[in-house]
Copies of this chain bind each other. A is one copy, B any other.
Amino acid sequence: MDHQTQNAFRALADPTRRDIVRILAGQDMTIAQLTDRFDMTRAAVKKHLTVLSDGGLISVEARGRERINRLEPAGMTPVLDWLSYFDRFWDDRLAHLKDAIERKRHD
Protein backbone atom coordinates (compact mmCIF):
# COMPACT_ATOMS: atom_id res chain seq x y z
CA MET A 1 0.00 0.00 0.00
CA ASP A 2 2.61 2.52 1.04
CA HIS A 3 4.81 2.64 -2.03
CA GLN A 4 7.16 5.27 -0.67
CA THR A 5 8.03 3.18 2.35
CA GLN A 6 8.45 0.05 0.28
CA ASN A 7 10.54 1.79 -2.38
CA ALA A 8 12.77 3.42 0.21
CA PHE A 9 13.42 0.18 2.08
CA ARG A 10 13.98 -1.63 -1.18
CA ALA A 11 16.47 1.04 -2.26
CA LEU A 12 18.45 0.58 0.93
CA ALA A 13 18.52 -3.20 0.69
CA ASP A 14 21.46 -3.29 -1.74
CA PRO A 15 25.01 -2.63 -0.49
CA THR A 16 26.03 -0.79 -3.65
CA ARG A 17 23.08 1.54 -3.28
CA ARG A 18 23.86 2.19 0.37
CA ASP A 19 27.41 3.05 -0.70
CA ILE A 20 26.06 5.43 -3.30
CA VAL A 21 23.95 7.13 -0.66
CA ARG A 22 27.01 7.60 1.53
CA ILE A 23 29.07 8.95 -1.33
CA LEU A 24 26.36 11.40 -2.32
CA ALA A 25 26.12 12.49 1.30
CA GLY A 26 29.65 13.80 0.81
CA GLN A 27 29.11 15.47 -2.52
CA ASP A 28 26.83 15.56 -5.53
CA MET A 29 28.05 13.49 -8.46
CA THR A 30 27.39 12.61 -12.07
CA ILE A 31 26.84 9.01 -13.10
CA ALA A 32 30.33 8.89 -14.61
CA GLN A 33 31.91 10.09 -11.37
CA LEU A 34 30.00 7.51 -9.36
CA THR A 35 30.93 4.77 -11.80
CA ASP A 36 34.60 5.52 -11.14
CA ARG A 37 34.00 4.49 -7.53
CA PHE A 38 32.63 1.06 -8.38
CA ASP A 39 33.73 -2.04 -10.20
CA MET A 40 30.76 -2.18 -12.54
CA THR A 41 29.51 -0.59 -15.72
CA ARG A 42 27.83 2.77 -16.00
CA ALA A 43 24.61 1.00 -16.98
CA ALA A 44 24.60 -0.94 -13.71
CA VAL A 45 25.21 2.22 -11.68
CA LYS A 46 22.45 3.94 -13.61
CA LYS A 47 20.04 1.15 -12.67
CA HIS A 48 20.91 1.59 -9.01
CA LEU A 49 20.36 5.32 -9.32
CA THR A 50 16.94 4.67 -10.80
CA VAL A 51 16.02 2.50 -7.82
CA LEU A 52 17.31 5.17 -5.44
CA SER A 53 15.29 7.78 -7.29
CA ASP A 54 12.17 5.60 -7.11
CA GLY A 55 12.78 5.42 -3.38
CA GLY A 56 12.90 9.21 -3.21
CA LEU A 57 16.41 9.09 -1.79
CA ILE A 58 18.05 11.08 -4.58
CA SER A 59 17.06 13.69 -7.13
CA VAL A 60 18.63 14.35 -10.51
CA GLU A 61 19.35 17.73 -12.01
CA ALA A 62 20.17 17.99 -15.71
CA ARG A 63 23.08 20.32 -16.39
CA GLY A 64 24.15 20.34 -19.99
CA ARG A 65 24.83 16.79 -21.00
CA GLU A 66 25.49 15.85 -17.40
CA ARG A 67 23.07 14.69 -14.73
CA ILE A 68 23.90 15.75 -11.21
CA ASN A 69 22.73 13.20 -8.66
CA ARG A 70 21.92 14.70 -5.29
CA LEU A 71 20.94 13.10 -2.01
CA GLU A 72 17.37 13.82 -0.85
CA PRO A 73 17.40 13.60 2.94
CA ALA A 74 13.60 13.82 2.97
CA GLY A 75 13.43 10.46 1.22
CA MET A 76 14.63 8.82 4.40
CA THR A 77 11.53 9.98 6.24
CA PRO A 78 9.34 6.95 5.45
CA VAL A 79 12.09 4.70 6.80
CA LEU A 80 12.39 6.73 9.97
CA ASP A 81 8.61 6.80 10.26
CA TRP A 82 8.52 3.04 10.14
CA LEU A 83 11.26 2.79 12.73
CA SER A 84 9.34 5.25 14.86
CA TYR A 85 6.68 2.64 15.38
CA PHE A 86 9.16 0.78 17.56
CA ASP A 87 10.06 4.02 19.15
CA ARG A 88 6.79 3.73 21.04
CA PHE A 89 8.12 0.57 22.61
CA TRP A 90 11.67 1.55 23.27
CA ASP A 91 12.32 5.26 23.12
CA ASP A 92 10.83 8.46 21.83
CA ARG A 93 13.78 10.21 20.33
CA LEU A 94 13.82 9.03 16.73
CA ALA A 95 11.26 11.75 16.12
CA HIS A 96 13.97 14.30 16.73
CA LEU A 97 16.01 13.03 13.81
CA LYS A 98 12.94 13.26 11.65
CA ASP A 99 12.45 16.84 12.77
CA ALA A 100 16.05 17.59 11.87
CA ILE A 101 15.55 16.25 8.37
CA GLU A 102 12.39 18.28 8.06
CA ARG A 103 14.27 21.41 9.05
CA LYS A 104 17.05 20.64 6.59
CA ARG A 105 14.44 20.33 3.89
CA HIS A 106 13.43 23.95 4.31
CA ASP A 107 16.93 25.42 4.30
Query: Which residues of A does B touch, CB under 8 Å?
Result: 6, 9-10, 12-13, 15, 18, 22, 25, 73, 76, 79-80, 82-83, 85-87, 89-91, 93-94, 96-97, 99-101, 104
Which residue in B15, B73, B87, B93 is a CB contact (below 8 Å) of A90? B73
B96 touches A91 (CB 8 A): yes
Q: List 21 A-B contacts (CB under 8 A).
A: A9-B12, A9-B13, A9-B18, A12-B13, A13-B13, A18-B82, A22-B85, A25-B86, A73-B86, A79-B83, A80-B83, A83-B97, A87-B97, A90-B97, A90-B104, A91-B97, A91-B99, A91-B100, A93-B97, A94-B94, A96-B96
Question: In terms of DSSP, what is the predominant structure of the interface of chain A?
Answer: helix
In the bound complex, CA of A18 to CA of B54 (Å)? 19
